[in-house]
Amino acid sequence: MDEHDWLVERFEAERPQLQAMAYRMLGSLPEAQDAVQESWLHLVRTDRSTVSNPGAWLSRAVTRICLDMLRARRSRREESLEASFPGSITREPSGSDPEQEAELADSVGLALLVVLDQLAPAERLAYVLHDIFAVPFDEIAPLVERSEAAARQLASRARRRVRGRAHMQDADLTTSREVVEAFLTAARTGNFDALLAVLDPDVVLRRDPRAVPAGIAGELHGAAAVAKQFVGRAQATQPVLVNGSVGVVVAPYGRLLSVLDLSIRGGKITAITTISDPARLRQVHLAVLDD
C-alpha cells in the first residue's frame, strides 16, 4: 500500500467521528460534511512528515474549520426564520438528504442543537469538544485561541446555558414536563381526545403577530378550538426550558423556527403563546431539560 492509499484509508476510518464532531459544532449535516472534506484537502496538502497522528491532526483541522464557519455565520445577517406554528413544516435543509438529517437531529436532540446554536462559536466548540467528546482542555485551548483556564471558562459558561435553571420546584417541574410530553404525544399521534385531556377548558392560544395571516384571529379560546390547531402536528418538537419553565421548541432538522411558551396550572395547559419572530426568539432563554 502506497502512502496515498494509506492516508485515504486512515481518513475514511476517521470520517464518522469527524462528522459527528462537526455536526455538533455546526448543527448542519451539509456543512459538517463540507468541513470534514475540507480537512482532507488540508491533509493532502500538508507535509506528511509533520503528521505523526492523522486522527488527531484531522480532529484539530475540523475544529478550526468549524470555528471559522461559525464565525462567518455570525458575521452574516441571521437567516430569516420563515415558519409559524401550529402548522405544517415543510422547509428542508438544502444540499442533504432530509430524512438522514432529520434522523441525525433526533438522535442528537433537537433541543440541544437549538441551545448550542445560541452559544458563541468558541463556547460551542469548548463545550462540544470537552463535554461530549472528552477532549482535554490543554488540547482545546490552542484550537479556540485561549489559555487553558479561559477554555475551561468557555465550557463552563456554555454548560450553564445548556443546562439552564428552572424557576419551579422539582415536583412542579416534573408535573409540567409530563403535561407537555402528553400534549406533544397527543398532537403527533392525532389523538384529539388526549389533547383535550391536557388542555384547560378555557385555554388561550396567542399566535405570534408575525405568523398570523391577514384575516386570521390572533387569539383562540377554548380547548376544542385550540386542540384543532395541533392535532396531527408537532412532528419536529421537543420539550425545553423556556425562560426557566417547561415549554416547547419547534425545530425541524435542529433549526429553530418557533417556541411555544406554555402556562400550566393544575396539570392542565391554560395558555400557549407562540414566538416565531427572530427578534423575539433571540430574547428567549432556552435550556435543555435533564433526562
User: CB under 8 Å to 286, separation ≥6 — which residues?
Assistant: 111, 114, 115, 118, 164, 240, 241, 242, 249, 259
**Would you state the pLDDT for residue 162?**
93
Confidence of residue 144 (pLDDT cuts 50, 70, 90): very high
Residue 85 has pLDDT above 70, yes or no: no
Assigned CATH for 170-287: 3.10.450.50
Segment 178-183 shows an average pLDDT of 96
Pairing of strands 199-206, 219-221: antiparallel
Residue in the block written with cell 430574547:
283
Q: Which residue has the higher pLDDT, 9 or 90?
A: 9
**Would you state the pLDDT for residue 7?**
84
**Would you state the pLDDT for residue 215?**
67
| pTM score over 0.85 | no
CATH topology of domain 3-75+96-163: Butyryl-CoA Dehydrogenase, subunit A; domain 3 (1.20.140)
Residue 81 has pLDDT above 50, yes or no: no
Segment 207-216 shows an average pLDDT of 75
d(CA 73, CA 119): 12
**Would you state the pLDDT for residue 76?**
66
Mean pLDDT of the chain: 88
Pseudo-torsion of CA 42, 21, 23, 31, nearest 10°?
Answer: -10
Confidence of residue 80 (pLDDT cuts 50, 70, 90): very low
Tell me which of 70-74, 214-218, 269-273 is least confident.
214-218
> Would you state the cell numbers that stand for residue 81, as one nine-digit string?
426564520
**Would you state the pLDDT for residue 150?**
97
CATH 1.20.140.160 placement within the chain:
3-75+96-163
**Would you state the pLDDT for residue 2?**
72
CATH 3.10.450.50 placement within the chain:
170-287
Segment 224-232 shows an average pLDDT of 93
d(CA 187, CA 174): 20
Taking only the tens place, the pLDDT of each residue in 90-109 is 345 555 677 888 888 888 99
Residue 261 has pLDDT above 80, yes or no: yes
Q: Which residue has the higher pLDDT, 70 or 168?
A: 70
Give me the percent of the chain exceeding a pLDDT of 90: 64
Residue 140 has pLDDT above 80, yes or no: yes
Confidence of residue 83 (pLDDT cuts 50, 70, 90): very low
